[in-house]
Amino acid sequence: MTSTGVARGASASSRTLQDFYGLESLYSTEELLIRDSVREFVRAELVPHVGQWWSEGSFPADLPRRFGALGILGVTLPERFGGSGASHTAYGLLNRELEYADSGLRSFVSVQSSLVMYPIDAFGSEALRSAWLPRLASGEVVGCFGLTEPDAGSDPGAMRTRCRRVGDEWVLTGVKRWITNGSLAQLAVVWARDEDGGTVRGFVVETDRDGFRAHDVKTKASMRASVTSELYLDEVVVPAAACLAVEGLRGPLSCLNQARYGIAWGVLGAGFACLEEAAAYVEDRPSFGAPLAGKQLVQAALADMLGELTKGSLLAFHLGRLKDGGQDTPARVSLAKRDNVRAALGVARAARDLLGGNGITTEYSAIRHMLNLESVATYEGTDTVHTLILGREITGRSAF
């Protein structure tokens, strides 16, 4: 034993690293139950296979139903709509567990819960909610969220997709790009600008309607275990009842608040997976006659990773409690999304470096997480967009 009582070579457990500041004692029994059931599923059913899915560029068709059976789709919604009425903190915890496996798998759940079920619950009629939410919660129906377009990403206000009211129906025409779950989805939440007056409106669109097509983006070097598509809407007709009761960019942006919040938690899971992998690797890897784990600069790298992820965990936890109390302003969410993605991406890059040449192979998970996190840094508002949101918050001046 050393003078501090720590045996030489006895590394910290996963549980100790992931809860370095003892946040566990602050979660409710229900939150811990949800966290533990998702953790068990993820470690047994996803982690052993996800590397292969990612390499093949596939997303298993049975996963939506299995996520539904686990009860994690729309977990914060009321039970009558298939949710569990769980806290936002519980939603954050389950995102962290999922992203420990892969950002693409967490993305599926983010889109279904935050970008499809949330707007239907918040802005949909009782008929829309009853028709779709239980089926989305069970995974029978997959949803997608179409906001981004080929020429309108960071600036969704520049969207060209149009909607036109004709009698009791709306007609939608346009192209959406980079849409997660696009070709899997039976239901799309599509945002379009009204030809009459220019207001942005949201629609719940069944994807088997005439004029609706989806094509996958096949050239991704990131998020390969997630489906990303282009949507083409050519005079797609939907009933007036499919129009959500919200007007303006406030509609889609309020959905983004939910998803960005989940991402602030989720990326910590990817970061911890990388830290654990690197810590185990350096224990076994000899260099200059001793394990890398005994080298000061290697320990400094591990200490920095733990520091960043622990600070990120405190940020996510407190934001969760603010959200549970209705105090999650968009700017608070932007700070957490931006800084936790930065932290996780930095950790993934450092872990990849510690793994040396092995770190560039998909035998290990660091490079997969690192490449996925490049997407996470771009979607749901780029790092720059969140910096500008915070700049506007501080100065009162819009610098977009």
Residues that are catalytic: 380
Asked if residue 250 binds ligand TGC (CB under 6 A), the reply is: yes
Cβ 111 to ligand FAD shortest distance, Å: 5
| DSSP assigned state of 128 | H
How many residues sit in the footprint of ligand TGC (CB under 6 A)?
A: 25
Q: Determine, following the binding rule CB under 6 A, whether residue 11 of this chain makes contact with ligand FAD.
A: no
Residue 391 lies near ligand TGC (rule: CB under 6 A): no
Q: What is the DSSP string of 133-152?
A: HHHHHHTSS-EEEE--BTTB
391 binds ligand FAD (CB under 6 A): no
Give the residues across from 193 on adjacent strands.
162, 200
**Binding status of residue 330 toward ligand TGC by CB under 6 A:** yes
Pick out residues in 175-194 that bind ligand FAD (CB under 6 A). 178-180
Q: Judge whether 54 and 362 are in contact, CB under 8 Å.
A: yes
Among 12, 131, 237, 249, binds ligand TGC (CB under 6 A): 249
Task: Single out the residue of 257, 258, 313, 340 in contact with ligand TGC (rule: CB under 6 A).
Answer: 257
Residue 153 is a binding residue for ligand FAD (CB under 6 A): yes
* Closest separation in Å from C-beta 145 to ligand FAD: 5
Span of 11-19, 56-64, 142-150, 271-279 interacting with ligand TGC by CB under 6 A: 142-150
* CA-wise closest residue to 82 among 101, 93, 92, 67: 67
Q: Find the part of the chain contacting ligand FAD (CB under 6 A) among 117-125, 140-148, 204-212, 289-297.
A: 140-148
User: What is the residue type of 213?
Assistant: R
Counts for the chain of helices (H) and strands (E), in that order: 13, 10
Residue in the structure block whose two tokens are 């068709």: 61
Interaction residues for ligand FAD, span 159-178 (CB under 6 A): 178
Q: Please, what is the angle between helix 63-70 and helix 103-110, to 10°? A: 70
Q: Which one of 375, 377, 386, 389 is in contact with ligand FAD (CB under 6 A)? A: 375
> First-to-last CA distance in the chain?
57
Distance between CA atoms of residues 222 and 104, nearest Å: 9
C-alpha dihedral over 188, 384, 106, 102, to 10 degrees?
Answer: 130
Contact letters for ligand FAD, residues 226-265 (x by CB under 6 A)? --x-------------------------------------
Residue count at the site for ligand FAD (CB under 6 A)?
Answer: 20
Measured CA angle at 97 (ends 92, 99), to 5 deg? 95
Contacts made by residues 365-369, CB under 8 angstroms, sequence distance 24+: 365/51, 365/273, 365/274, 365/277, 366/274, 366/277, 366/278, 368/51, 368/54, 368/102, 369/102, 369/103, 369/270, 369/271, 369/273, 369/274, 369/344
Binding residues for ligand FAD, per CB under 6 A?
A: 111, 145-148, 153-154, 178-180, 223, 228, 375, 378-380, 382, 384-385, 400
Binding residues for ligand TGC, per CB under 6 A?
A: 107, 110-111, 145, 147-148, 154, 156-157, 180, 248-250, 253-254, 256-257, 259, 330, 379-381, 385, 389, 400
